[in-house]
C-alpha cells in the first residue's frame, strides 16, 4: 500500500534537486529519503529521476507525477502547519539502539530531563548497524563495528567480562585452585555450581570459557532468565554464578550482595562505541546523549 510520505519526499527531491537537501528540508536522514524514493518508484513501476553526479534530474514520468500531486501535497502541508499552529517549535525525535541493560544502567534515569523525544530500540548488533546505515536509527551503542562506509565509530568505554557470584557462594576452594593454576579442577568446580544466563549473554560465557580454558563450555546454565538485571536480582544475597560485564553489577557489589569470583587468567575486555552516520541533522541531540553515557561510565569505572 502506498505511503503518503513517499509523495512528500518525492516533491522535496523534485523541488531541491538533491537527496541531501530534501533530507534537510524534511528533517529525516538521507538514507530515509532514498528508501522513500525507491519504494515509490517500485510502486508506480518506473523511474522518477535520473541520478546525475550531484543532481537528481526528473524524468518525463516524474514531471507528470509532480504536476499531478504537487497541489494536493501542498494542501496537506498547509493543513499540517495549521494543526500545529499553537506549537512554538517542533520537538525533534531521535532513535537510539542499544542492549536493554546498557539502557537501564545509563540512559533510563535521564529520559525525563531530555529536551527532545527519544525512541529506544533493543535488538542484536548486526541489525542495529543495518538500521543505523538505513536511517532507521540515529545513534547506537555497540561493541561491534560493521563494514558500512557511511558510519562513524567513537570508542568511549571498555567493559570487562567477569565471573560474579552471590555472597552465599563459598569460593575458598576456587581461590586455591586458581592460585595453583589447576585448570581441570577449576573447570570441574565451576561446572558443579548453579549457573544463571540469558539467551543474549551466552556469548559472554563461551568467550570467558574459551579464553581461559581453550575449549568451549560443555554445559548450559541451570536457569535462563530474561536479562542480566534478572541475573543480578537472583544472585543478590544468595548462591549461584554468572559471567557478566563488570559495570552492570556496580550497585550490587557496593552493597555486598554479589562478589567478583574471578576475572580470569586472561582478562576479557569489550570496547563500547557510539555509532553514528557521517551526516546527521541531530548532532546536538546525539551529543547530549553521548555526554550522559560518558559521565555514567566514568562513575562506574571505579568498579572495574
Task: Tell me the per-residue pLDDT of 193-228, one tens digit each, with 9 for 90 and over.
Answer: 999 988 766 788 888 999 999 999 998 899 988 888
Options 3.30.930.10, 3.30.750.24, 3.40.190.10, 1.10.4080.10; which CATH number does 159-269 get?
3.40.190.10
Q: Does domain 4-83 have CATH number 1.10.10.10?
A: yes
Task: Tell me the per-residue pLDDT of 268-290, one tens digit each, with 9 for 90 and over.
Answer: 888 899 999 998 889 999 999 99
| pLDDT band, residue 177 (cuts 50/70/90) | very high
Instruction: Share the mean pLDDT of the chain.
Output: 87
Q: With 60 as the cut, is the pLDDT of residue 303 above it?
A: no
| pLDDT band, residue 83 (cuts 50/70/90) | low
| pLDDT band, residue 28 (cuts 50/70/90) | confident
Q: How far apart are CA 118 and CA 221, in angstroms?
A: 35
pLDDT in the model for residue 243: 92
| pLDDT band, residue 229 (cuts 50/70/90) | confident
DSSP 3-state helix, strand, coil percentages of the chain (rounded to 5)? 50, 20, 30
What are the extents of the domains in the chain?
Answer: 4-83, 93-153+271-303, 159-269
The residue-averaged pLDDT of 43-49 equals 90
- Tell me the percentage of the chain whose pLDDT exceeds 70: 93
Reported pTM: 0.61
| pLDDT band, residue 26 (cuts 50/70/90) | confident
Q: How far apart are CA 4 and CA 40, in angstroms?
A: 10
Q: What is the CATH number of domain 93-153+271-303?
A: 3.40.190.10
Task: Tell me the per-residue pLDDT of 127-170, one tens digit each, with 9 for 90 and over.
Answer: 899 999 888 899 999 988 988 888 999 999 888 889 999 989 98
pLDDT in the model for residue 88: 46
Identical fold between 4-83 and 159-269 = no
Strand-strand pairing, 117-121 and 93-97:
parallel
Q: How far apart are CA 128 and CA 138, in angstroms?
A: 10
pLDDT in the model for residue 200: 60
Lowest mean pLDDT among 7-21, 84-98, 122-136, 230-244: 84-98
For residue 139, the surrounding DSSP H or E stretch is: strand 139-142
Q: With 60 as the cut, is the pLDDT of residue 20 above it?
A: yes
Phi, psi of 172 (to 5 degrees): -60, -45
Taking CA 6 as the corner, what is the angle to CA 148 and CA 13, rounded to the nearest 5 degrees?
Answer: 75
CA-based nearest residue to 265, from 194, 164, 157, 180: 180
pLDDT in the model for residue 84: 55
pLDDT in the model for residue 78: 76
Lowest mean pLDDT among 80-89, 186-195, 234-243, 247-256: 80-89
Amino acid at each position: 500500500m502506498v505511503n503518503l510520505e513517499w509523495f512528500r519526499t518525492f516533491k522535496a527531491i523534485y523541488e531541491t534537486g538533491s537527496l541531501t537537501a530534501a533530507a534537510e528540508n524534511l528533517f529525516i536522514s538521507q538514507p530515509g529519503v532514498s528508501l522513500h524514493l525507491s519504494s515509490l518508484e517500485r510502486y508506480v513501476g518506473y523511474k522518477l529521476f535520473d541520478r546525475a553526479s550531484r543532481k537528481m534530474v526528473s524524468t518525463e514520468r516524474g514531471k507528470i507525477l509532480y504536476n499531478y500531486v504537487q497541489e494536493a501535497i501542498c494542501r496537506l502541508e498547509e493543513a499540517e502547519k495549521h494543526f500545529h499552529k499553537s506549537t512554538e517549535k517542533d520537538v525533534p525525535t531521535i532513535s537510539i539502539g542499544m542492549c536493554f541493560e546498557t539502557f537501564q544502567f545509563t540512559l533510563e534515569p535521564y529520559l525525563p530531563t531530555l529536551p527532545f523525544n527519544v525512541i529506544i530500540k533493543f535488538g542484536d548488533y548486526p541489525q542495529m548497524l543495518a538500521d543505523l546505515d538505513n536511517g532507521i536509527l540515529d545513534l547506537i551503542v555497540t561493541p561491534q563495528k560493521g563494514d558500512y562506509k557511511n558510519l562513524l565509530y567513537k570508542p568511549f568505554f571498555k567493559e570487562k567480562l567477569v565471573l560474579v557470584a552471590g555472597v552465599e557462594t563459598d569460593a575458598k576452594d576456587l581461590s586455591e585452585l586458581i592460585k595453583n593454576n589447576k585448570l581441570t579442577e577449576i573447570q570441574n568446580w565451576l561446572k558443579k555450581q548453579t549457573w544463571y544466563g540469558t539467551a543474549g549473554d551466552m556469548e559472554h560465557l563461551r568467550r570467558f570459557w574459551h579464553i581461559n580454558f581453550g575449549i568451549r563450555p560443555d554445559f548450559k546454565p541451570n536457569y535462563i532468565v530474561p536479562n542480566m538485571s534478572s541475573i543480578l536480582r537472583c544472585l543478590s544475597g544468595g548462591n549461584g554464578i554468572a559471567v557478566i560485564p563488570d559495570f552492570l553489577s556496580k550497585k550490587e557489589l557496593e552493597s555486598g550482595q554479589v562478589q567478583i569470583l574471578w576475572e580470569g587468567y586472561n582478562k576479557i575486555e569489550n570496547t563500547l562505541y557510539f555509532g553514528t552516520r557521517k551526516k546527521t541533522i541531530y548532532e546536538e541531540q546525539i551529543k547530549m546523549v553521548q555526554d550522559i553515557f560518558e559521565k555514567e561510565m566514568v562513575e562506574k569505572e571505579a568498579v572495574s
